[in-house]
Amino acid sequence: MDYHYYNMEKNTITFNGIKTDTFIEKSSPRIVYLLGKQKKLKYGENPPVAAVVNGELKSLQTEIPENAVIDLVYLDSKEGRSAYRKTLCFLLCYASSVVHPDRTLVVGHSLGDGYYFSYKGKEKPDTERLREVMKKAIEEDMIVDIETLSASQALEYVEKMKCEDTKKLLDTRNDGAYTFNRIGTALSVNYEPLLPSLKLLEVWELMDYGGGLLLRYPQSRSPERILPFQDNPLLFKVFEETKEKSKILDVSSLGSLNLKVTGGKIREVIVLSETLQRRRFYRAAEEITKRGNVKVAFVSGPACSGKKSSGIKLSAELKIQGFDPIMISLDDYRTKEKKGVSLESLDIDLLRSQVKALLDGEEVELKSLNDVDQKRMFRFTKARMKENTILVIEGVQTLNEKLIPGLDDSTIFRVFVSALTQLNLDTMSGISTRDNRLIRRIVKECRTTSITPEEVINSWSGIEEEEKSQLFPYQNNADIMINSALEYELGVLSTYVMPLLRSVTPDQGKAYTVARRLMAFMDLVYPIPSEYVPSDSILREFIGGSAYNLT
């Protein structure tokens, strides 16, 4: 792009820490211009792929604002890898618009190191042809541009292209104009930055999977190549069940959820969503009953997946099935000396000795971390197993076979709980499960402790990294996986998290950037009154008011 310097104005720009006075025309050039007109970005050289502008994450195609502080974001960063994945997904959507213009490709869930896609009409994809179009677009280095359309232009486009979910989202926005990402004639809602160049998409793989497509991307530990495929049928099955659940609720996208709020039908969605989730715990208890010899039910899951509420819900269903459950939380065995979720963070000897004593029929005094009795439903200070007793042990580490070695595997039932966001922004843009859990955590921690939103955000990356080694390698040990996310929960969480995110100030660095990004997303969500949430909902673990004592 050529820029003609006329009507020049003095503008102060701090670019990567260097403050310079420069002349920028009123119609400002884009940030990518500062890299140099002839600069070629190469994948193997860890190039800049986005920028933090005055504390907010932006595309390099964003115009330079007046008096800007600009810091480049590189490919090997968390934000850079996210931009890589999102650009790859959008490229597949573009390719589908070329190969199958009469079909609607829907971005699905993450699955290991990839994203699952399928066609709305369940048509079989022409994978080879899609792959060819993607490769050609990369070879030609097609521009990933940003385009602003008036409201009428945007609606005309989404109606013409039959983008029903995008239209629902725009119908609930009432903005005068909308910003889109563009590749060729394909547009997607501008939610987070994409790469400035398709040429950077050097490492990826597209394969047939489950009646649809799996678009795989490089992991941070192996950026130069795609690792051998490791299937996760349990996770895929849960997502397929979740998809069917969304059809029953008629809520598959954020726009459709917003329309349920404005249409006065959100209470029906809440009742159905809670009922369908309760059935999953019933099925788990039913499976335990069928096995006939289960003595220990382990409940695991990542941070803010609702493990405690899930353990209590499973205990309730087991009681209905005729069992006498005793619930144990690994948090009660956490030591003050070591933090984190490794086995070393627990008083492992005490845990093992008490579980063994219980299984041997002895009476055991169960204590909380601070030795103050905490009464939870189906939890007793002194416990002894009966013939019909099942231990329900919840905690991050419970799927690790090394937690309590020597148990008879035939007497164990393992449950993995995770908050797997089922909503999409629209057919081309998914909503991050990680962001959903982070929002849950901000709300819960700031409600129950003196921790600030900034501290929660800054600690989140460390939690995720630890879970990669201490939790997710064991998730396929589970007998059943339960999705604890509720279709409506973002609407409820928005009223709690938005004030907290607004309290994060520009001087708080990366936490501010994350807060602004989450705010931009949550601003799309219509609020839902918390009084609509049942007292036994898993969501109550985060917003408060639970029927269970979860302290």
Contact 432, 260 (CB under 8 A): no
- For residue 241, the model assigns a pLDDT of 86
**pLDDT tens, 164-191?**
999 999 999 889 999 999 999 899 988 8
Q: What are the backbone angles phi and psi of residue 396, rounded to the nearest 5°?
A: -60, -40
The residue type of 327 is M
Could you write out the DSSP letters of every residue in 423-446? Answer: -BSSSS-B--HHHHHHHHHHHHHH
- For residue 2, the model assigns a pLDDT of 44
For strand 326-329 and strand 391-394, is the pairing parallel, antiparallel, or unpaired?
parallel
Give the confidence band of 410 by pLDDT, cuts at 50, 70, 90: very high
- For residue 61, give the nearest of 149, 192, 188 by alpha carbon: 192
Q: For the whole model, what pTM was predicted?
A: 0.91
- The Cα–Cα gap between 415 and 354 comes to 21
- For residue 6, the model assigns a pLDDT of 41
Using a pLDDT cut of 70, give the percent of the chain over it.
93
More confident residue, 35 or 169: 169
- For residue 396, the model assigns a pLDDT of 93
**pLDDT tens, 469-498?**
889 889 889 999 999 999 999 999 999 999
Place of tokens 């929002």: 439
- The Cα–Cα gap between 470 and 476 comes to 13
- The Cα–Cα gap between 498 and 477 comes to 37
Using a pLDDT cut of 90, give the percent of the chain over it.
69
For strand 212-216 and strand 205-209, is the pairing parallel, antiparallel, or unpaired?
antiparallel
- CA of residue 450 relative to chain centroid, distance: 25
- For residue 26, the model assigns a pLDDT of 47
Q: Exposed e or buried b for every residue in 422-442, given b needs 16+ CB within 10 A?
A: bbbbbbbbbbbbbbbbbbbbb
Q: Exposed e or buried b for every residue in 457-468, given b needs 16+ CB within 10 A?
A: beebeebbebbe
Place of tokens 């497509």: 213
pLDDT at 512 over 60: yes
pLDDT at 7 over 50: no
Q: Tell me the average pLDDT across 386-400.
A: 95
- For residue 312, the model assigns a pLDDT of 95
- For residue 89, the model assigns a pLDDT of 94
**pLDDT tens, 125-143?**
999 999 999 999 999 999 8
Q: What are the backbone angles phi and psi of residue 4, rounded to the nearest 5°?
A: -100, 125
Q: Residue 95's CB: how many other CB atoms inside 10 A? A: 25
**pLDDT tens, 426-453?**
888 888 889 999 999 999 999 999 999 9
**Which of the residue ranges 31-40, 326-335, 359-368, 414-423 would you say has the lowest mean pLDDT?**
31-40
pLDDT at 144 over 60: yes
